[in-house]
Structure 1
Amino acid sequence: MSKYIGVQTGTALPPPVPVGKQTPIKQGIGRADTGDDLESIGTTGTKVEHNLRQPNLVSSRQQQSVKLQAPPQSYVRDDVTTLDRKFATGIWAKMCRLDEHQQTLYDHGWEYYERITLPRYKVGGGKIRLAEKGETEVQTRIYPLFDCSMSMFSDFGISVSLYFSTLLILSIILAVAAAMNVPNIMMFEGDSWSDGQQTLRSSSALGDLALIGSAYCDQTAYVECDNCDVSKFKDTRYVESATSPGTYFYLTNTCQITIDAVLVDFATVLFLFISIILMGWYQRKLAVRFDEKVQTAADYSLTVHDPCEDAIDPDEWADFFSRFGEVACITVALDNQTLVNLLCEQRRLRLEILLQLEENSSYDEKIGFLNEEELGCFEKLANGINLMKGLSLLHKELIAVQGKLWEEIEKVSKSGGYPTTKVFVTFEHEEGQRKALNALSTGLIAAWTDTSKNIPVTQRFRSKNVLKVEESKEPSATRWPEVHISTKKKYQERLLSWTLTLAVIIGAGFSVYGIEKINTIVAAGFISLYNTLIPILCSFFNSLESHASEGGAQESLYMKIAFARWTNTAIVICVITPFTATLNGVNLDVDNFVIVKSELLFQVYTVLFADVVSYPIYRILDFGGVLNKFFLAPFAKNQAVINNYFQGTAWSVAERYTDITKTMFLAFFYAAIFPTSYIFCLASLIFNFLVDRYCILRLWKSHPATGTQVATISLKFMLVSVLAHSVMSAYWWSGFPFDNLCLTLDGGEGGAASQTVQTPLGQVVTASGTYSYCDQDLLKNWKFPALPEFQGEHQWMTSEQATLVSITGIASAVFVGLIFFGFFGSGIFFSLKHLFVPAYKESGQDQNIPFSCCRGEISSHIPEYKVAGFDHPFIATSLDNLDLDLQLSWNPTKNETFHDWCLCSDEDLGDLVPKNAPRTRSKLFAQTKYYPPNEMGVYKIREIDNLTDGEDDSK
């Protein structure tokens, strides 16, 4: 018999918090409706008794042996399915020895994965159009992997469309850059550079062969140095004479750079700079075209950021904005986050309790069900430290949450309601939105102070408030839990998250430095591992920030990941690697000395190779998803848990952008001395395109339809990569021959003669001439730009090299000015400008399609709150005045309705706010209202497609 059978008595209860009906549980468990009869719920084979006289009681979760029902939702049949599902429900299910009951649940989980998680398109209509999740009215299919065009990604949001278009455009740019650098690759591997790099060619190691065509140099000799100190050189860069103890000879590199290599590299920098600027211009045009191809709520909506706090009536806002055009929807958001969080937490706790209830268990939400004495020692300890929450602890948390709900509602009732924070206005026509934005947009100072000469009294809300308005973000990109956060608190959160990010970056840099002292290959492996962990760490730090839109959150996340990855890959490698190990390294053998691979170039190759091979393979193998779908889901105890394992792998467009810009930055940073890095970068872009295309269609969760913020900031980071290319090229050319030795006396007439030095390890023949120590590293000496004037007393540059360094150094300074003032400076300028003048500017053409005619293709701003463990978001507003089929982008599954996901129900509020007091309830939640159009002209899907784009994009 189960131990969860007792009823604990004498429990101190908070004020009465009747729960009414049981929680509307999704994912196969369903909800028990109030009534005298008993209702079987879901497809798990379980039953929940619900007694109207004891509305809080759930008892006798008894396992039924009846045949399981088919999925209750009627989908239009689709014979197309994934290979994963066929294997899992066939061969794999037999290998796992699943019984009929488990197989049915497992198959329903795959059905959920294909119908809800994976993107599907509507069959027919001539165009591939994204279907709503759970679409049942028309036939839908999983997106094809090969027979589809690039234009289909416009349905996934502008950010996703721009990401894939960026990959294609950058691939073309990198292919041209790689072709331009073929002469340099051939020069470095030719006989004129380092005797054909025979040391690399004779090696069988992939890492050695990959360095062929780089600036690797194995032409060296030992020379005498008058003022050299061995402490300034690595032990592999000098030897002690066996015949003259205390006499040291130092290794010099005899490879010298030529003008042709510098000119090719300089031309490549110019090409990359111009190409990426043109790509940015093209992407802006492309974003407008993507926006025009798909009608979204952002085309019809605007957001009021500074409404009057007591203006909660949608009709008042509709009356005000109707002067600009016919209003379709109004959403008045309130500062009710505490209440909504408590309601969501109540739902989550009820779900966890329901999932943990065992057979023959009794549970009363007001009293409890467990005796603490019946818990084992481990369970008591786990409950006490919150390591593993059992039923007893979950029940206590639920009672505490309900007590806080009571207190919150009491507080709000006394204060008269929540204040208004934002208002979302959706017009029936795009023209209405544009008229309103053109008429009401003003400088930020005027909006803050409610003083503007350009906004007449008739266009001020309540004749006083100069509204701060802007075009709305997409509904799916709105972060409703954070729309009410003040600007001051947002900046405080950003300061904290960036402090943590910088601490991790610095800590990783010191870690790599310490590991590199032990083993170079291990250090490179740590860099690759850290690059994999960076998105996880930065995502956690970014979660500490509040953003009103997903686009803003993605932009902030992008900057954190980009800085961390750039620092960890290119910059840390450069800092920790000794300057004299740039072109080669030395390994002393018992008989002679042998030149081995460059420490610097080898680490660069290792990271680039990981970008090309390791990371794409890691994503496509999807270890977390495989574990959930093939090892955990088959043995889950009910449908709700199984469906949780089929949610798909979370991903971020910001992380994907940083992945490609990180590879670009690393390749450009070392391109002058490692021109084959262009080929590695090109291969990485192509593999990323193919792998990410597969992942978004078969493995990943749906991504919020964010805008162009990440693409815009990514363009700036790409230009910074080109800037790094230009600046570092000047330093690389100035550093040759990377040995910190300057010739002071050659071996000509009257000069130093060649000599043979007896070393402890064998005979070493030295070159003629006398050398002096000179620090050739202008970068670490903080000299900018790299110019020959900074050489100091000892000159190591040849006259030709000095001329080339002057050209590239001055050019790098010019690039710094152009990129900083042209892009970052312009951002500062426009930010100051918008304090005084409006920032709004029309983009794209009015498609002349009414909002109400986009049914099934659009949504509007309805407050929705996503909670882990639930299929759909909870709706934090009354559904009485909404057109749910038009305004929501998802459909309830199984036996549920939208009301089961509404937090305004009796089930959530109980007797806290009586149902016969609707005015009181209205003050607790956002006010939303849909206004049907005066003249409804309904277009068919094909007609809308023809209006947005006459071309057939199905191919």
Structure 2
Amino acid sequence: MSTPIEELSPRSKALETAAPSIERCKEHLSKNLPKMIIVEHTQLGYRVNKGPSELVQPDTKEKAEPFPFCGSSIWSDMDTFGLGISLYFRQLLFFVVVSLTAAIILIAATSHNADVCRHSGTGKNEKNKGLVIGSAAGCFPKDLRVGDNVVPDLLVCLCILIVTLLANRLEALVETRIDLSQQTPSDYSVQVLNPPEYVDNPDSYYEFFSDFFQNGQNREDVVAVTMSKDNGALIQLLAQRRAYMQDLIDFDARDARIRAESSSSEHEIIHDDAQPLSGFLQFLQPYLYPYGLLKTRAYAQAEKDRIEGDLRVKISLAIEDWKAPRRVVVTFATEASQHRALDAYETSGARRIISNWTGYEFDNNPRQLEGGTVLHVEKPVEPSEIFWHNSHVKFFEKCIRIFITLAITAGMLVIVSVVSIQLRGSWRFTLSVFITLVNATLPPFIKVITEMIERHADFGDLQDSMFLKLTAARWINTAVAVFISYSPRERLSADALSQVMLILLADAFLTPMIRIIDIYDLFLRYFVAPRQPTQRAANRLWTGADWNIAERYTDVSKTLFVGLFYAAAMPTSLFVTAAAMLTTFCADRFCILKKWRRVPELDAQLAKRTIGVVAIIIFVHAWSTMFFFLMWGTYTESFDDDDFNDETGDRAINCFTGLLECRVPNDKVTNAQKIAYQIFRPVGFIAFVVALWKFIGVEIKNTFFDLFCGGNNTQRSEPNLDNFRALSSDVHLYCPAVTHPNLDEPLLAAVVDGVPAHLLPVSDPIYHNVATQQEIAPLLGPDAPPVDDVIKRLFGRVTYYEPPQEHDAPLPPTKDTVQSQIELGNVHPPQPPPSQTPPLNSESPQIKLPPGWSVEQDASGKTYYIDHINKRTSWRPPPSAR
């Protein structure tokens, strides 16, 4: 039995029922691409639009234009896309400069190698020409020079080490500049990570925070309180149910269209999707269905029925097992208020544990919430980053899932390494082609297993997990696989070094071209989309190509890793590395403006992680440089066999005996090689310490301060004076929501009565919401409590607190006043002037109030409005009134 169209909103009925059209799909894609919105009062003067609902300039009503690919704003355009994306593009340009500078420093080594490494008696595989000109190919040990080879590489190490040490400070300056140019909900909010189970009313947090700041005299400071429940599994099932309902509606629309076009009776229309698939197709259907393939009515109906059965069981159990609050977010009117809240409540873990477990009060312990709980408060990530549907996953389960994906990734890398070793004796370009193909396959493979197995609290943590696995996998596949595929005697041969150069050239030119063309996305657009039942379903495949920031960061770090790993043996590799970074910048800028779908706003988490990765790259570069200098030279049959180990045929030098320690027989190396070893061993240790600090030490330091110092150690930027209520319409409140790839918009998973629609991340807060009577009532049994009570138990709530009357609003504090009061530690906005009498109304205005509101008149005839849900009154109607 199919789902009637009447079950969903009028908006669904209006979906296009015509056959999918590529032209309409292109129009849909054009609407979803980023557009430039002029905002004169901001630092940049413009921002990116919030989606297809904002296609005209708010002031002039003119059509919003796409961002130009080139122009004077090329450096600042990415700032409007959020901190994470902006820092990525800035780091790309930073790596271009670093790679090019290092390549210029090594010009002396390149010139020296090209001049002196032209010996007679060497084989074809030892010629210093073509792709490997200026490299170590064809050199003899005596050709290594301290001034021409060792010193330039030492300067490269020291320069990049210094830049790495200064990177965090430079990044902080850029982060402050970007933060001042745009305001996001995270800049105005704090989150409570340990909400007491017994406090389930947002008003309790409103009273707590507003009384703390204003002593109960002015409630303007708190804009909204968001409370989510531990109901991730439930809202996931509700989203899946809604997605299959939408698919059934699409099938109904297709059937109606066919009947209208053919003028046939209903029983004459027979579709092959009315019966379940069988055999191998039935096995593949669950995996291909989300991508628009093998879509049948029978499967959608069966899955909908199965999910509804699971929901009835889960809801009946959840009614008895009351869902405690999971996360509480308090949004303030000003950034200064947020800073004060963090200064007061971002206490150390040790103090919270002692106070909550023993009841002991410190002299400066912050005021406790009702029941004696010292709150764990910190700044939240952006609303679009939070995975509300994973709120039910426990920490131990998360760790087990991460371990499984790590094991799968490690097993795949072992297989790739074995295959690489087997390919080294085949056709000259086979190994480089294989490595390039594996590099292209790694991101989707790791993305699939990570999203399928792991469960993370937010998008940033998911990207961080993918980043770490992809970084290790790409480094091993690209640089290490080539290194171990050749014996020590062959690693400086023209054949081995040419493979490295081909990989870098592919990164510089072939990979960006493949990314721009994106064959997989073209397949979805031009093959799968036309076969969808409705235009709506086809449009879903034209919302932009899927991508993730972790894959882009690892692609860049992999190229830098390969270039620096082989820089001593092939200095020209750094010129190609710089070219690869530049082409990546251009290709990624084009894709984010013209091809890619939008991702949640990202913070600086991966940018900071990349700095630690660069520190590790410098350490590996120091080790590889020491190794290549000690193994310098090509050894032909004319050389004495005493230069080699009798058992293996390799040189007697061994650099795998310990950390930055090599076995170096004095009679087997030249003086230049001895000096290189003596120089790069301590440089390697310095790089190792820096890498250890940047990648692990910083995390340990932050954990220590969080445990014992709390927010007292946090350096906060100067607060912006813009009021949250006055921000543009692209800024939303924190609201529990769940996404599904088959739905056009997220589904709200909280009660949002009384919240202005423009502060919610959906176009229709009534339809795009699973916490409603229409959604839950059909899933309740005959003995269930009233549906409103069930919704209250199952779902969180977003409560919006109206501002005071405009004539009662306090004057905004000046910049100097805010800064001086923050330094004193007790900021209180100016008290408002005495309230003026609201105008008299002879009769109540004829407006339609939302559920839970009523209108009354006092003894003098003045109209006022009552919010029975939150037990408040107001002289003005709620913003959602019509």
Quick one: which of 160, 182, 203 aligns to 1:294?
A: 182
2:618 is aligned with 1:700: no
2:65 is aligned with 1:141: yes
> Which residue does the alignment assign to 1:70?
none
Q: Equivalents in 1 of 2:516, 2:5: separation in Å?
A: 46
SS in 2 for 1:303: strand
Any idea what the Cα deviations from partners look like across 1:514-534, whole Å, max 9, x if unmatched? Answer: 222444521221111111111
> Which residue does the alignment assign to 1:407?
313
Unaligned runs of 5+ in 1: 1-6, 9-17, 33-40, 46-100, 220-252, 364-368, 585-597, 742-763, 945-955
> Which residue does the alignment assign to 1:814?
686
2:239 is aligned with 1:344: yes
**Structure 1 or 2: more helix by fraction:** 2
> Which residue does the alignment assign to 2:788?
918
Q: Equivalents in 2 of 1:197, 1:643: separation in Å?
A: 65
SS in 2 for 1:418: coil
> Which residue does the alignment assign to 1:127?
45
Task: Name which of structure 1's ranges 815-824 and 381-390 shifts more when overlaid on structure 2.
Answer: 381-390
Q: Could you tell me which amino acid in structure 1 is paired with residue 156 of structure 2?
A: T
Q: Could you tell me which amino acid in structure 2 is paired with residue 868 of structure 1?
A: P
1:254 Cα deviation from its structure 2 partner: 6.6
- The change in CA–CA distance for 1:938 and 1:684 in structure 2 (over 3 A counts) is farther
Any idea what the Cα deviations from partners look like across 1:463-522, whole Å, max 9, x if unmatched? Answer: 411211110111111111123422222222222221222222222112212222444521
2:313 is aligned with 1:313: no
- The change in CA–CA distance for 1:495 and 1:772 in structure 2 (over 3 A counts) is closer
Given that 1:174 and 1:682 are in contact with CA atoms closer than 8 Å, whether structure 2 keeps it comes out as: yes
SS in 1 for 2:381: coil
- TM alignment of 1:222-621, pairs within 5 A: 255-322=143-210, 323-324=212-213, 326-357=221-252, 359=255, 379-381=277-279, 385=283, 387=285, 388=294, 390-415=296-321, 417-448=322-353, 450=356, 453-454=361-362, 459-543=367-451, 544-584=453-493, 598-621=494-517
2:94 is aligned with 1:169: yes
- The change in CA–CA distance for 1:186 and 1:375 in structure 2 (over 3 A counts) is closer
1:635 Cα deviation from its structure 2 partner: 5.9
Q: Equivalents in 1 of 2:514, 2:284: separation in Å?
A: 33
Given that 1:259 and 1:804 are in contact with CA atoms closer than 8 Å, whether structure 2 keeps it comes out as: no
TM-score, normalisation: structure 2: 0.80
Unaligned runs of 5+ in 2: 215-220, 260-266, 286-293, 815-882
> Which residue does the alignment assign to 2:736?
863
Given that 2:622 and 2:683 are in contact with CA atoms closer than 8 Å, whether structure 1 keeps it comes out as: yes
Task: Name which of structure 1's ranges 514-523 and 267-276 shifts more when overlaid on structure 2.
Answer: 514-523
- The change in CA–CA distance for 1:697 and 1:411 in structure 2 (over 3 A counts) is same
2:786 is aligned with 1:898: no
1:636 Cα deviation from its structure 2 partner: 4.6
1:377 Cα deviation from its structure 2 partner: 8.9
Any idea what the Cα deviations from partners look like across 1:346-385, whole Å, max 9, x if unmatched? Answer: 111112222234536999xxxxx99999989983447864
- The change in CA–CA distance for 1:810 and 1:342 in structure 2 (over 3 A counts) is closer
Given that 1:189 and 1:197 are in contact with CA atoms closer than 8 Å, whether structure 2 keeps it comes out as: no
Q: Equivalents in 2 of 1:426, 1:419: separation in Å?
A: 21
Q: Equivalents in 2 of 1:579, 1:414: separation in Å?
A: 68
> Which residue does the alignment assign to 1:872?
745
Quick one: which of 58, 74, 84 aligns to 1:159?
A: 84
Given that 1:443 and 1:837 are in contact with CA atoms closer than 8 Å, whether structure 2 keeps it comes out as: yes
Quick one: which of 697, 721, 728 aligns to 1:825?
A: 697
Identical pairs, percent? 21
Q: Equivalents in 1 of 2:255, 2:4: separation in Å?
A: 23
Q: Could you tell me which amino acid in structure 1 is paired with residue 754 of structure 2?
A: N
2:674 is aligned with 1:802: yes
Quick one: which of 131, 141, 146 aligns to 1:210?
A: 131
- The change in CA–CA distance for 1:524 and 1:780 in structure 2 (over 3 A counts) is farther
- The change in CA–CA distance for 1:888 and 1:279 in structure 2 (over 3 A counts) is same
- The change in CA–CA distance for 1:583 and 1:136 in structure 2 (over 3 A counts) is closer
Given that 1:577 and 1:599 are in contact with CA atoms closer than 8 Å, whether structure 2 keeps it comes out as: no
Q: Equivalents in 2 of 1:351, 1:296: separation in Å?
A: 32
1:21 Cα deviation from its structure 2 partner: 4.1
- The change in CA–CA distance for 1:488 and 1:362 in structure 2 (over 3 A counts) is farther
> Which residue does the alignment assign to 1:722?
618
Quick one: which of 684, 709, 712 aligns to 2:605?
A: 709
Given that 1:217 and 1:255 are in contact with CA atoms closer than 8 Å, whether structure 2 keeps it comes out as: no
- The change in CA–CA distance for 1:373 and 1:329 in structure 2 (over 3 A counts) is closer
Q: Could you tell me which amino acid in structure 2 is paired with residue 549 of structure 1?
A: D
- The change in CA–CA distance for 1:401 and 1:360 in structure 2 (over 3 A counts) is same
> Which residue does the alignment assign to 2:572?
676
Q: Equivalents in 2 of 1:439, 1:197: separation in Å?
A: 77
Given that 2:139 and 2:632 are in contact with CA atoms closer than 8 Å, whether structure 1 keeps it comes out as: no
> Which residue does the alignment assign to 1:78?
none
Any idea what the Cα deviations from partners look like across 1:644-674, whole Å, max 9, x if unmatched? Answer: 1211111111111111111111111110111
Q: Could you tell me which amino acid in structure 1 is paired with residue 327 of structure 2?
A: K
Given that 2:383 and 2:735 are in contact with CA atoms closer than 8 Å, whether structure 1 keeps it comes out as: yes
Any idea what the Cα deviations from partners look like across 1:620-652, whole Å, max 9, x if unmatched? Answer: 112233333445445654211220121111111
Q: Equivalents in 1 of 2:596, 2:74: separation in Å?
A: 19
Q: Equivalents in 1 of 2:175, 2:125: separation in Å?
A: 48
- The change in CA–CA distance for 1:779 and 1:158 in structure 2 (over 3 A counts) is farther
Q: Equivalents in 2 of 1:864, 1:110: separation in Å?
A: 28
SS in 1 for 2:327: strand
Quick one: which of 8, 12, 26 aligns to 1:31?
A: 12
Q: Equivalents in 1 of 2:245, 2:123: separation in Å?
A: 69
Task: Name which of structure 1's ranges 286-295 and 539-548 shifts more when overlaid on structure 2.
Answer: 539-548
- TM alignment of 1:743-762, pairs within 5 A: none
SS in 1 for 2:429: helix
> Which residue does the alignment assign to 1:37?
none
Given that 2:231 and 2:794 are in contact with CA atoms closer than 8 Å, whether structure 1 keeps it comes out as: yes
> Which residue does the alignment assign to 2:843?
none
1:863 Cα deviation from its structure 2 partner: 1.2
1:719 Cα deviation from its structure 2 partner: 1.1
SS in 1 for 2:90: helix
Q: Equivalents in 2 of 1:216, 1:812: separation in Å?
A: 25
Q: Could you tell me which amino acid in structure 2 is paired with residue 882 of structure 1?
A: V
Q: Could you tell me which amino acid in structure 2 is paired with residue 22 of structure 1?
A: E
- The change in CA–CA distance for 1:295 and 1:821 in structure 2 (over 3 A counts) is closer
1:132 Cα deviation from its structure 2 partner: 1.7
Provide the alpha-carbon RMSD of the alignment.
3.4
Q: Equivalents in 2 of 1:933, 1:577: separation in Å?
A: 71
Instruction: Determine which structure has more spread, i.e. the larger CA radius of gyration.
Output: 1
Q: Equivalents in 1 of 2:121, 2:193: separation in Å?
A: 65
TM-score, normalisation: structure 1: 0.74
Given that 1:382 and 1:389 are in contact with CA atoms closer than 8 Å, whether structure 2 keeps it comes out as: no
Q: Could you tell me which amino acid in structure 2 is paired with residue 286 of structure 1?
A: V
Any idea what the Cα deviations from partners look like across 1:860-899, whole Å, max 9, x if unmatched? Answer: 21112111122111111223121121x2345x3xxxx331
Q: Equivalents in 2 of 1:493, 1:814: separation in Å?
A: 35
Given that 2:643 and 2:651 are in contact with CA atoms closer than 8 Å, whether structure 1 keeps it comes out as: no
Q: Equivalents in 1 of 2:459, 2:591: separation in Å?
A: 21
Q: Equivalents in 1 of 2:628, 2:565: separation in Å?
A: 10
Task: Name which of structure 1's ranges 170-179 and 905-914 shifts more when overlaid on structure 2.
Answer: 905-914
Task: Name which of structure 1's ranges 813-822 and 570-579 shifts more when overlaid on structure 2.
Answer: 813-822
> Which residue does the alignment assign to 1:776?
651
SS in 2 for 1:583: coil
Any idea what the Cα deviations from partners look like across 1:714-733, whole Å, max 9, x if unmatched? Answer: 01001111111112111111
1:779 Cα deviation from its structure 2 partner: 4.9
Given that 1:327 and 1:428 are in contact with CA atoms closer than 8 Å, whether structure 2 keeps it comes out as: yes
